[in-house]
Structure 1
Amino acid sequence: MFKTTLSKLFILLTCWWLSFAALGTSLEGVRIWPSPDNTRVVLDLSKAPKYTYFTLTNPNRIVVDIQGKPQDFNFTKVKNTSPLLKEIRKSSAKKPNTFRLVLELKEATKPIIFSLTPTKPYGDRLVMDLPHSAALSKTKVEISQPSSERDIVIAVDAGHGGDDPGALGKRTYEKNITLTIAKQVAAKINREKGMQAILVRSGDYYINLNKRSEIARKSQADLLVSIHADGFKNPKPRGASVWVLSTRRANSEIGRWIEKHEEQSELLGGAGEVINNTEQDLFLTRTLLDMSMDHSMNTGYGVSVEVLKELGKVTKLHKKRPEHASLAVLKSPDIPSLLVEAGFITNHEEENLLRSKAHQKKIANAVYVGIKRHFENSPPAGTYFAAIAAKSHIVQRGENLSVIAKRYGVTVSQLKRANKLKSDTLRVDQELKIPNS
């Protein structure tokens, strides 16, 4: 009898607990992150959600039912600049112990809705990705590329963004530092004749890591530079660094930490695909055999060397040579890529530096100068930089200054001045610099 009573009591307590747990899920916050071609709505919840949803037309709506305790939430205080989402409001749910949210839309869309487990600094979340139509999308690539003497196009990527804050300092989110520096790099490039920059991310929103390379590719970029601020599990490491693609996993502790942090970024950003899936690794392995990948890796390394030289003039370096890691943003086989870590945001001294406008300006200028110097020395064919690059001529038997000047469309005096010649005498196999006509 006593055992029977205990069993019944246990069952009652279990049912009560399950009922309490179901009622316990509550809405703690709402964030709306509009990007050029997508609006992301993030619901911060007290527990992992159990939910269902459906769409309605005339007018266009998305209805989400979440199992949990109905409560008051002031949606009017949620910042909303989305071109697609009109508003979020509460509605009456048909099932008990459920709260219903209705997303009013300006047009129909096919939502992608999924939950995310806690990842610092966030708890349980329900993520709703709402793709924009072509009419609403602001993703427009306007690159001027004449048939001759085209601009060198640099895609500048600000790491992280939106629901993914990146590395966390005591007072700073990495995503804010990277966007500020990236905008300054792009502005400097756009002021340089023969160069043009496009910002991969121009605001506080998240872009899937693989899509960042796609944006660079659509822009016909000659280089992708991704700006970051490093983080580590302890505050001791400091200094800027530059990373290029490795076909193997990183062999340093910092490199492994960065690779792990990139995977965490996809979780925070709520990417709908896994970076390192089998098909992609197979594709990358095959692509690495292609000469285009060799060219991209060599060019990326060449730019990184120049950028490191400039960074060393304005800040402490973590490593004096480019480091290697297997990062998604570096894996594009047809676009030379590098990742710049401006410093360790987890180091108190460097966090203060990275928050400084003067230091941000120095970092941006170093990145810009390094990129410019590389392309001045190795300009892509058909670009303005290639057209103005200093040519050279090896003197052949029977040639004189007059013949050479006529061949290159310059004057004899220009040739003599460019080569600091005091007479008209030349010797066979002498190398002459040819000035711009």
Structure 2
Amino acid sequence: MMKNNYYKFKNVALLLLALTSVATLASNQVQGVRVWPSPDNTRVVFDMAAAPEHKSFSLDKPDRLVIDLQNIKGSSNLPAVTGESSVIKAIRSSGDGNSMRIVLDLTKATNANVFSLPPTPPYGHRLVVDLPNNQPEPNLPPPTIRAARDIVIAIDAGHGGEDPGSIGPSGFYEKNITLPIARQLAQLIDRQPGMKSMMVRTNDYYIHVNRRTEIARGQQADLLVSIHADAFTSPQPRGASVWVLSLRRATTEVGRMLEQTERHSELLGGVAEIIKDSANERYLAQTVLDLSMNHSMVTAYQVAGEVLDELGKVAHLHKKEPQAASLGVLKAPDIPSILVEVGFISNPQEEKQLKSASHQTQLAKSLFTALKRHFETSPPADSLFAQQRAREHRVSAGESLSLLAQRYNVSVADLRDINQLASDSIRVGQTLRIP
């Protein structure tokens, strides 16, 4: 009798478990739809109650992407869509009570990539659709190489779009700190004769870390500055820091680049015409890449020191010396690169400070001052800064600022500004830069 009761209990338990599993499978739901357009692609994100079971396929005439979701409960109507893209005409849905078909009506054929993502705060389960623009990148002319070219600074606002970065105690996103600072830094650079900014990310969308360095290289950047806000598991750490590439990562990247023979002409610059057979001349290619990487790392370390000097005037420093790390955005062998952590968003006081427009302005100004000073001291040979640096005058007895202004056909104000003079007083033997 007891044995029979045992089997009855076991069968009931198994039945309950099976019913619970079915109920769990049928409990998914689309909770939100977000569209993130960017220059390279459009990302559509479906926020799900649980991990999605999905299949997808494309149709043409007209162009459509069809996504079938299984084990969906409730209404077959989608929530309101936030965002829009020129690639998508409409997003519609239908269902039969246990499944949902989502159709993206497209303006053109595109090679869609559909995949799921696990929960990552602030988001839960997601079904992601990436729609490449399928357009060749605009054939932008590279910066003109001439005797007095502009110094190009690539500014990378960290994170963006579906990737919010770190999240502060009040729920503020890192991506909403990095972009305003990057934009203000770009404005300051563009107002400086001889310097030109290049925004890697111009709005709120996601760019893969490898793509960021490629965008900077496409515009022949002299320096890449990636802006971030730090975070930790406890609220105590605070302060800004500046990171450069670690020697170990640099060695790894050189080895990896040697395997990518199709990119040698891009990475080796003018030497690529000489080093054509990278298989037979691997040692020569490695030497060139090592020299390039070494130059980039030395320059980046110098810039990092200048940036820390200026940041220390407007913010607490977490580390007073440049830090080395294995970070993907710093790996370009031909572009000196630094990553600036402007503070800890996980610290309540610093989060409040970093959200402040006035503090963001101070941070942008300090970055600009450091970059400008570095390139005034060590300008590229073919830049306007180099030409200006070569035009100097050593003050002799009897000379005044107004006399020199007349001689060189410039204003006294410009002489004061370029030499950072507080007054019109100059001394014998002093070297003045002439604008």
Structure 2 length as normaliser, TM-score? 0.79
Unaligned runs of 5+ in 1: 250-275, 395-410, 423-431
SS at match of 2:82: coil
Listed one character per residue, the Cα deviations across residues 278-323 of structure 1 (whole Å, up to 9, x for unaligned) are: x968416996961000011011111111111111111111111111
User: Aligned partner of 2:192: which letter?
Assistant: E
1:390 Cα deviation from its structure 2 partner? 3.6
Q: Does residue 49 of structure 2 align to residue 39 of structure 1?
A: no
The verdict on how the C-alpha distance between 1:100 and 1:296 changes in structure 2, with shifts beyond 3 A counting, is: same
Look up the match of 2:212: 212
Look up the match of 1:328: 328
Unaligned runs of 5+ in 2: 260-285, 395-406, 420-425
CA RMSD of the aligned region, Å? 3.2
Q: Is the 8 A contact 1:22 1:97 kept in 2?
A: no
Look up the match of 1:176: 176
Q: Is the 8 A contact 2:70 2:98 kept in 1?
A: yes
Look up the match of 2:359: 359
Q: Is the 8 A contact 1:390 1:433 kept in 2?
A: no
Q: Does residue 151 of structure 2 align to residue 148 of structure 1?
A: no
1:133 Cα deviation from its structure 2 partner? 2.3
User: Aligned partner of 1:77: which letter?
Assistant: A
Q: Is the 8 A contact 2:200 2:212 kept in 1?
A: yes
- State the distance in 2 between where 1:188 and 1:393 align: 28
User: Aligned partner of 1:160: which letter?
Assistant: H
Q: How does 1:31-430 map to 2 (within 5 A)?
A: 31-72=34-75, 75=78, 77-92=80-95, 97-134=98-135, 141=140, 144-171=143-170, 172-248=172-248, 282-283=255-256, 290-390=290-390
Look up the match of 1:24: 27
The verdict on how the C-alpha distance between 1:354 and 1:372 changes in structure 2, with shifts beyond 3 A counting, is: same
Q: Is the 8 A contact 1:391 1:433 kept in 2?
A: no
Q: Is the 8 A contact 2:50 2:125 kept in 1?
A: yes
Q: Is the 8 A contact 2:117 2:126 kept in 1?
A: yes
The verdict on how the C-alpha distance between 1:69 and 1:434 changes in structure 2, with shifts beyond 3 A counting, is: closer
- State the distance in 2 between where 1:140 and 1:364 align: 30
- State the distance in 2 between where 1:352 and 1:80 align: 28
- State the distance in 2 between where 1:127 and 1:234 align: 31
- State the distance in 1 between where 2:232 and 2:45 align: 27
Q: Is the 8 A contact 1:51 1:67 kept in 2?
A: yes
- State the distance in 2 between where 1:34 and 1:105 align: 14
- State the distance in 1 between where 2:208 and 2:310 align: 30
- State the distance in 2 between where 1:143 and 1:367 align: 25
- The percent identity for this pair of structures is 48
**Paired residue total:** 380
The verdict on how the C-alpha distance between 1:361 and 1:434 changes in structure 2, with shifts beyond 3 A counting, is: closer
- State the distance in 1 between where 2:79 and 2:18 align: 37
The verdict on how the C-alpha distance between 1:322 and 1:285 changes in structure 2, with shifts beyond 3 A counting, is: farther
Q: Which moved more, 1:324-333 or 1:279-288?
A: 279-288
The verdict on how the C-alpha distance between 1:297 and 1:285 changes in structure 2, with shifts beyond 3 A counting, is: farther
- State the distance in 2 between where 1:239 and 1:32 align: 35
- State the distance in 1 between where 2:433 and 2:24 align: 79
- State the distance in 2 between where 1:133 and 1:226 align: 27
Structure 1 length as normaliser, TM-score? 0.79
SS at match of 2:134: coil
